[in-house]
Structure 1
Amino acid sequence: MARSMLLISRQAPWAGPAAREALDLALAGGAFDLPLSLLFLDDGVLQLTSGQQPQQLQQKDLGANLQALPLFGIEQLYASQRSLTERGLQHAELGLPVQRLDDDEVRQLLASHDLLVTL
């Protein structure tokens, strides 16, 4: 039986390799049809903002990887409403459709998966 995995992305897109590694892991899991969900938490929600200009920081754009998630069968995308609110992000600023979860829903999501991976 396949085990469900929740990948938790907590890092800003420009704060180091963790954000890219989380997306690479998600895409690899999707390519092998693993039951995978992705939760953007803390500074990880900053990955969701559209119109980023990573070239100014000599970083690669994660936008294409984010847009490819549904193509790889990863449609269970979540974001912490608290994290979005704390960073002043509105729904219209997000470049990817995610289900926004309150703190109780985040706890339920964590409990509903067999494996948790945080990057």
Structure 2
Amino acid sequence: MKNFLFVMRRMPFSGIYVQETLDMLLTAAAFDQSVSVLFADDGVLQLKKHQHPQTLAFKDTAAIFTALEIYDVNALYVETESLQARNLDVNDLILPVQCLPRREIGNFIGKFDVLIPD
């Protein structure tokens, strides 16, 4: 088994990138790989509560994120400074996450066998 880290940095509804990353993430999890997700930069907005993408004719990816638990993807992390820069905190997110300060991200990433950036 490999340890995968998917890093999501893009804004929600920014084209096919988010959906493709989610597809890869779910595929890895379905094949019993250890999957973690790090949300940084604008990627933290992926988890923001009360989004209504259907009004913009986008697919609502929130349902996929909330289904991660079914695939045993429970290791969700956000970069603390990314949340703060967007005036958010963990209570503004749709899923429970662990916060990591920017200074720890490099060491954190080094613990994984496979890194998949979006």
TM-score in terms of structure 2 length: 0.94
Answer yes or no: is 1:23 the counterpart of 2:22. Answer: yes
What's the CA shift for 1:73? 0.8
Q: Structure 1: 5+ residue runs without aligned partners?
A: none
Q: How many residues align?
A: 118
Partner residue, 1:45: 44
Q: Which moved more, 1:15-24 or 1:54-63?
A: 15-24
Partner SS, residue 82 of structure 2: helix
Query: What is the rounded CA distance, in whole Å, between the counterparts of 1:45 and 1:11 in structure 2?
Result: 8
Provide runs of 4+ in structure 1 moved above 3 Å. none
Does the CA contact (< 8 Å) of 1:19 and 1:44 recur in 2? no
Tell me the secondary structure at the aligned position of residue 32 of structure 2.
coil
Structure 1 position 64, deviation (Å): 0.8
Give the TM-score, by structure 1 length. 0.93
Partner residue, 1:88? 87
Pair 1:75 & 2:74 matched: yes
Q: Does 1:5 align with 2:14?
A: no
Q: What's the % identity of the aligned pairs?
A: 38
SS of structure 1 residue aligned to 2:108: helix
In the TM superposition, residue 104 of structure 1 has moved relative to its aligned partner by 2.5
Distance (whole Å) between structure 2 residues aligned to residue 91 and residue 41 of structure 1: 13
Q: Please report how far the alpha carbon of residue 20 of structure 1 lies from its aligned counterpart in structure 2 after TM superposition.
A: 1.6
CA distance in 1, matches of 2:90, 2:3: 28
Supply the distance in 1 between the matched residues of 2:84 and 2:11 (Cα, whole angstroms).
Answer: 15
